Amino acid sequence: MALTLKRTVEIPVYQVYGSLKVATERTDIQEFLEALDKGEIDTQNDPLSRQIARYLFSMDLLAVDGEGWSITETGKGVLESGRFWQKEEGLYKIWVISNDPLIGEHFVHFERVKPEVAEEEAKETGGSLHQLPLQNFINQTYSLKSGGQTVDIQVLGLGVNEEGYFRGNDSANLEWTWYSSTTDESICVLDGELRLSSTRMPIDLHHETKLSQSQVEVLQAVAGAGNLEWHEAAGCIAVGFSEELPPTTKKRFLIPHLTLNVPESPYGRFDEVTLKDIAVVPANETDANQWRDWLVMEEVQKNYIRPKRLDQMVLQINQNAAFKHHELDTLTVEDILERTKADEDSLKSEAFWHLAAPYDLAV
């Protein structure tokens, strides 16, 4: 089974005074701390090492320990990972997704803004500071992709009392995919471009979704929004039987391919929903009996089946999981022969000669 849901996501752009911590690779600091920890560096007699130690002290990576130095908890983090969380403040443009019914809040991108540029833009737009819906981003950590590299940030503060300028919207294409019917995990991919100050930056954001909702609940919501009937007990889409159904659906109880438009669902609006190899069941008992009878007739016309074997075949078809929640009528050789006699203009009566022969010969 595969279920793919697509829609456009608005990405508001805000200009704020921000306070961030940005993780940067600092293997040079890591190597110095390793050497210091092993006693391979003499900060007392080596002026350069002493100067570096004082610099790391100012960054809260080292602490004074008697006449030497000890590595702080922050320094131990750098020693272990090789990454240093550098605090920075200033004017930023930030791209965020807020209150999305599927992926919630997500910090997509940020860039520094020169004060003179910010002031000029404010004059051009006539904008003024106002409250922004950014409180949910404070004290959160995000992993962003920028220029082919991954950047981790911690958001310490955005604006004064979450104030700032709204600078319009960018957008991205969201694709949410369930690949298998055996798992309740899925993945969201955002694809598009952000309009930065000097260029356009492609978005490549993969958001793994581990929702409290099960796959069945998602499929039920999509089916309901797409005006498909749902069988509550079976937990799948219900279909009325028709000779016009695709062969795969009639024989295997699967919809091979279906595209829906979902204007509203608990997970937002979707412009396109694609279902592949989705399990279905008969909508009601009338459909179930017609479906079962069609399957039996197909087997009888294809294979030489003696009357005694027919009962076993009907029982086997009745046990198909698609019929589990329906009461099926009995189907005997007499029933089949009666139906074929009523259809004299068709070739069915000839196709079922092997069933009729024992009765014609009084065997």
**Same-domain pairing of 245 and 356:** no
- Please report the pLDDT score of residue 131 as a whole number: 74
Q: Taking 80 as the threshold, does the pLDDT of residue 40 lie above it? A: yes
Number of domains in the chain: 4
**Same-domain pairing of 16 and 134:** yes
pTM for the full predicted model: 0.68
Q: What is the mean predicted confidence (pLDDT) over 5-26?
A: 89
CA distances for 33 relative to 55, 60, 78, angstroms: 12, 13, 8
**Same-domain pairing of 92 and 204:** yes
Report residue 310 as tokens: 């027919």
**Same-domain pairing of 34 and 13:** no
Give 163-217 as a DSSP string: EEEEEEEEEEEEEEEE--TT-S-EEEEEEEEEE-SSSEEEEEEEEEE--SS-HHH
**Same-domain pairing of 56 and 114:** no
- Please report the pLDDT score of residue 337 as a whole number: 72
**Same-domain pairing of 102 and 189:** yes
Q: Of the candidates 191, 209, 227, which is a domain's last residue? A: 209
Q: What is the extent of the structural domain holding 116?
A: 2-20+87-209
**Same-domain pairing of 220 and 163:** no
**Same-domain pairing of 274 and 294:** no
Task: Convert 95-123 to b/e letters by CB count within 10 Å (16 or more is b).
Answer: bbbbebebbebbbbbbeebeeeebeebee
**Same-domain pairing of 110 and 172:** yes
Q: Taking 80 as the threshold, does the pLDDT of residue 171 lie above it? A: yes
For residue 191, give every residue at least 6 positions away whose Cβ sits within 8 Å of its Cβ, in sequence order, or none: 172, 173, 175, 202, 203, 204
CA angle 294/297/303 to nearest 5° reads 140
Q: Of the candidates 282, 302, 333, which is a domain's last residue? A: 282
Tens digits of residue pLDDT in 184-217 = 677 778 888 888 777 777 776 665 555 556 777 8
More confident residue, 274 or 162: 274
**Same-domain pairing of 237 and 143:** no
Tens digits of residue pLDDT in 275-311 = 888 889 999 999 999 999 999 888 887 777 777 788 8
**Same-domain pairing of 171 and 303:** no
Q: What is the mean predicted confidence (pLDDT) over 212-231?
A: 81
Between 27-36, 45-54, 351-360, the lowest mean confidence (pLDDT) is in: 351-360
**Same-domain pairing of 204 and 95:** yes
More confident residue, 199 or 96: 96
How far is Cα 32 from Cα 9, in angstroms, rounded to an integer?
Answer: 45
